[in-house]
Amino acid sequence: MKLLAVSDLHLGRRQHEFDLIEDQKHALKSIVKICLEKKPDVLLIAGDVYDSALPPRDAVSLLDDFLFELAGLPLSVLMISGNHDSRERLNYGGRIFEGSGIHIAAEAELPVKTVTLSDEYGPVRFTLLPYLRPADIRRFAEDGETVSDTLTKILNSAGEFSGREVILSHQFWLPLSGELVRCDSEPPTVGGLDGLPVSLLDRYCYAALGHIHTPQSVGRSGVRYSGSILKYSASEVHSEKSLPLVSLGKSGLEDIEFIPLEPLRQVRRIKGPLAELCAAAETEGVSEDYIYAVVTDPIPDPDARRRLLFYYPNLMEMKIDLPDNERTEFSSEAVTRKRTISEWFYEFYLMQNGISPEDGFGESGAEVINKAVEAAGGEEALL
Ligand SMILES: [Mn+2]
């Protein structure tokens, strides 16, 4: 059986005011093309399908087109929610799509959803673990259980199975030793559920993971973050995107082939004095690439951005590289301003529970925060 794994599509994402929908459309078309050429039996989509809980119309249409094309191919599609997805919106139509071989698990529920498919060696069971928030873990936990205990219980809710098993997950799984390659387009933490031990996934011959945007395996080759479909931050300039094409044999994982995912536009970082950057562009011609520019002139040209835009219409970001002792004058208030305790709490509550404190506590959300801050001695005492 052949599996193709993708994750972190982030459909509808805007980056530095650029709408990436054309780039995303191109990436999804490439995935369909890879499916036609490589003929996987299953396409695994491991979460963060949309970039936000309320995706823009173009993104919804894009997913609709993608699923429609996939439904016409002789393969099954298994899809879970990520931390960016709205469960209800991703689940929309899911029960009807089952008839076309598209299986979606977006809601946290017990028992966990499974889909069993077969090849010449017998059945393969797929566990579709949707993204679980700390609040879900608390809901399923019994007294005295650790997060690992509760997760094990959730995974075991699939029931006994003696054949080959595969899992899709969007939790933050960590290797038992060594570190993961991180980048700027992932949130630095995922609530209180950071760093789950990857040993909990030992029984799966392949774990298709989402959440980390740089493609990489975790501990062993059969546990793998596919990575995002596009370079969603400057820190990913050198991280080439690829899709793992996984072959399962009689006793489990046999081989992984990496299929490169060519972007519509390249993402590049350029650095140097403005005149040099412009001169280079003069010979190369106007570039449609997404550009992160660093201008190194000691006295920056106030017109630098406009001049670069002439050659690089898709200029994502322009930074001026100043000597360290001059840098502080240019840091804006928005970046350096300390957040208040209320703001920290608001963000933390939203991250933990997926709803705002207003939605959690009703009208009195702000009041609850203020009272808690007061009881602790006020903002000054806490910061
Ligand atoms: Mn993501």
pLDDT at position 175 is 81
H helical segments located in 10-51: 21-38
Helix (H) / strand (E) containing 6: strand 2-6
Mean pLDDT over residues 369-380, rounded?
77
Percentage above 90 pLDDT, the chain: 64
Angle 100-103-105 (CA atoms, 0-180°, nearest 5)? 155
Mean pLDDT over residues 210-219, rounded?
93
pLDDT at position 361 is 72
Return the CATH number at 214.
Answer: 3.60.21.10
CA 345 to ligand 1 centroid distance, Å: 23
pLDDT at position 146 is 87
CA 306 to ligand 1 centroid distance, Å: 32
Regarding whether 191 and 220 lie in a shared domain, the answer is yes
Compute the distance between CA of residue 232 and CA of residue 308 in angstroms, rounded to an integer. Answer: 21
pLDDT at position 368 is 74
CA 228 to ligand 1 centroid distance, Å: 7
Domain end among 307, 330, 353: 330
Q: At what angle do helices 21-38 and 57-71 cross, to 10 degrees?
A: 10
pLDDT at position 329 is 43
Compute the distance between CA of residue 57 and CA of residue 50 in angstroms, rounded to an integer. Answer: 11
pLDDT at position 284 is 83
Regarding whether 275 and 377 lie in a shared domain, the answer is no
CA 198 to ligand 1 centroid distance, Å: 19
Of the listed ranges 6-10, 70-74, 166-170, 319-323, the least confidently predicted one is: 319-323
Whole-model pTM: value is: 0.83
CA 229 to ligand 1 centroid distance, Å: 10
Regarding whether 313 and 178 lie in a shared domain, the answer is no
Regarding whether 233 and 121 lie in a shared domain, the answer is yes
pLDDT at position 192 is 55
Question: What tens digit of pLDDT does each residue of 256-297 get?
Answer: 999 999 999 999 999 999 999 999 888 888 889 999 999 998
Question: What tens digit of pLDDT does each residue of 337-352 get?
Answer: 566 777 777 777 766 6
Regarding whether 210 and 305 lie in a shared domain, the answer is no
Compute the distance between CA of residue 321 and CA of residue 258 in angstroms, rounded to an integer. Answer: 37
Alpha-carbon separation of residue 23 from 82, 159, 232, 241, 262 (angstroms): 21, 41, 11, 13, 10
Regarding whether 277 and 239 lie in a shared domain, the answer is no
Mean pLDDT over residues 292-318, rounded?
90
pLDDT at position 335 is 44
Compute the distance between CA of residue 155 and CA of residue 168 in angstroms, rounded to an integer. Answer: 11
Regarding whether 247 and 122 lie in a shared domain, the answer is yes
Question: What tens digit of pLDDT does each residue of 146-199 get?
Answer: 888 999 999 999 999 999 999 999 999 888 777 777 777 776 655 456 678 899
CA 43 to ligand 1 centroid distance, Å: 18
Binned at pLDDT 50, 70 and 90, residue 378 comes out as: confident
DSSP output for 106-169: -S--SSPEEEEEEETTEEEEEEE-----HHHHHHH--TT--HHHHHHHHHHTT----SEEEEEE
Percentage above 70 pLDDT, the chain: 90
CA 376 to ligand 1 centroid distance, Å: 35
Residue 305's domain spans which residues? 267-330
Give the residue among 220, 215, 103 at the shortest CA–CA distance from 168: 103
Regarding whether 52 and 24 lie in a shared domain, the answer is yes
Regarding whether 272 and 211 lie in a shared domain, the answer is no
Structure tokens at 195: 């760093």
Regarding whether 181 and 278 lie in a shared domain, the answer is no
CA 317 to ligand 1 centroid distance, Å: 21
CA 133 to ligand 1 centroid distance, Å: 15
CA 211 to ligand 1 centroid distance, Å: 4
Residue 209 clears pLDDT 50, i.e. is over it = yes
Compute the distance between CA of residue 192 and CA of residue 170 in angstroms, rounded to an integer. Answer: 14
Angle 58-63-66 (CA atoms, 0-180°, nearest 5)? 125
Pairing state of beta strands 14-15 and 164-169?
unpaired
Mean pLDDT over residues 235-256, rounded?
94
Secondary structure class of 324 (helix, strand, coil): helix
Mean pLDDT over residues 199-225, rounded?
95
Pairing state of beta strands 173-174 and 196-197?
parallel
Q: Output 14 or 357, whichever has higher pLDDT.
A: 14
Mean pLDDT over residues 108-117, rounded?
96
* Sequence-separated (6 or more) residues with CB below 8 Å from residue 329: none
* Other residues' Cβ atoms within 10 Å of the Cβ of residue 21: 17
Task: Work out how many domains the chain is built from and give that number.
Answer: 3
Domain end among 207, 238, 260: 260
Answer for the pair 263, 23: CB distance below 8 angstroms, yes or no. Answer: yes
Question: What tens digit of pLDDT does each residue of 58-92 get?
Answer: 999 999 999 999 999 999 999 999 999 999 999 99
pLDDT at position 49 is 97
Regarding whether 293 and 156 lie in a shared domain, the answer is no
Residue 333 clears pLDDT 60, i.e. is over it = no
Compute the distance between CA of residue 108 and CA of residue 87 in angstroms, rounded to an integer. Answer: 9
Regarding whether 370 and 229 lie in a shared domain, the answer is no
